[in-house]
Amino acid sequence: MILRSLLLLFVSIISAASQAQSDSLKASMPIDTTTYVYGNVMYEKGNYNVAISVYENLLATNGQAAQIYYNLGNAYFKINQIGKAVLNYERALFFDSNDNDTEYNLELANQRIRDKIEAVAPSIFELWWRAYISWFTSIGWSVIAILLIWIALGGFVIYRYERFIQFQREGFYVFLIALILFLFAFAAAAGRSSVDKNYQFAIVMSPSAVIKSEPSESSTNLFLIHEGLKLQLLNTESNWIEIEMPDGNIGWIKNEDIVPVNPFKPEQNLTQP
């Protein structure tokens, strides 16, 4: 009976965390709904440049929102500005990593970029871990971890105190299971927080850009890449950024050739050589 009750409580915790995350995403939507609807109307009528202007203004005046970045990506895709389309789809996923529509449209946009570079395949564990921590935000995982540790303490009390002697066995299992789940939730909270903090990627915005061997104009040209390619940011030196390409190759690119996916300018936190 106790195990069943605690199982129902755990399901309620997950449901509450999911609802809180959903509410949080809704709360991030721009408050100027009239302007937002106007932008959508302009998009539906094929006035994509007007829609882009409306969405850009909403982001500038009302803050970040996954849905606005998604709509903005769609508008740029319609006028064949693929680099900006990719950037905005990536930003939409930065704020809402589980949106299937955004993932699908991003895949379509990536099919139009010039550089077809085979990415280094992640391990099965890495794929599983990414999927696992993406279920909730770091705050959501933290709430779940806190509630689980309280459940574990409750089970421990039931197990240790003679007053609950008839439920001692159930208390032990509740304590053990909740403690294990707490460790998983705590690890997910830490992992998601680390991913969010270190999400340092950028999209090439120039029609073409040269990857150099060193942060200098006189250094060796390594690769020529083109608009829309996603790069990982590593280090910064003056107006040069050290990057890693999808296939693992490393080099330096001018800061002016790329735009960070993270709208909060993660390159400012990069290690200075």
pLDDT digits (tens, 9 = 90+) for 228-254: 999 999 899 889 999 999 988 999 999
- The pLDDT tens digits of the residues spanning 177-206 come to 889 999 999 999 998 888 777 678 999 999
- The pLDDT tens digits of the residues spanning 119-130 come to 776 788 888 887
- When pLDDT is averaged across residues 53-81 and rounded to a whole number, the result is 92
- The pLDDT tens digits of the residues spanning 146-167 come to 888 988 888 888 888 767 667 7
Pairwise CA distance, residues 65 & 26, whole Å: 9
Pairwise CA distance, residues 12 & 18, whole Å: 10
The domain ranges of the chain are 28-110, 125-197, 201-269
> Which residue(s) pair with 201 in the sheet?
232
Instruction: Say whether pLDDT at 90 is over 60.
Output: yes
- When pLDDT is averaged across residues 50-74 and rounded to a whole number, the result is 92
How many CA atoms are closer than 13 Å to the CA of 90, on its beta-carbon side?
Answer: 24
Task: Tell me the pLDDT band of 30, cut-offs 50, 70 and 90.
Answer: very low
Task: Tell me the pLDDT band of 14, cut-offs 50, 70 and 90.
Answer: low
Q: Which class would CATH give 28-110?
A: mainly alpha
Helices of type H across the chain: 2-27, 33-44, 48-62, 66-78, 82-95, 100-110, 124-133, 138-160, 168-197
pLDDT score of 18: 57
201-269 under CATH 2.30.30.40, yes or no: yes
- When pLDDT is averaged across residues 73-85 and rounded to a whole number, the result is 96
CA-closest candidate to residue 160, choices 145, 146, 174? 174
pLDDT score of 12: 63
pLDDT score of 79: 96
- Which helix H or strand E contains 268, and what residues bound it? none
Instruction: Say whether pLDDT at 266 is over 70.
Output: no
The percent of residues above 70 in pLDDT, for the chain, comes to 83
Pairwise CA distance, residues 255 & 266, whole Å: 13
- The phi and psi torsions of 225 (rounded to 5 degrees) equal -120, 170
- The pLDDT tens digits of the residues spanning 31-53 come to 568 888 999 999 999 999 999 99
Instruction: Say whether pLDDT at 273 is over 60.
Output: no
Which residue would you say has higher pLDDT here, 39 or 97? 39
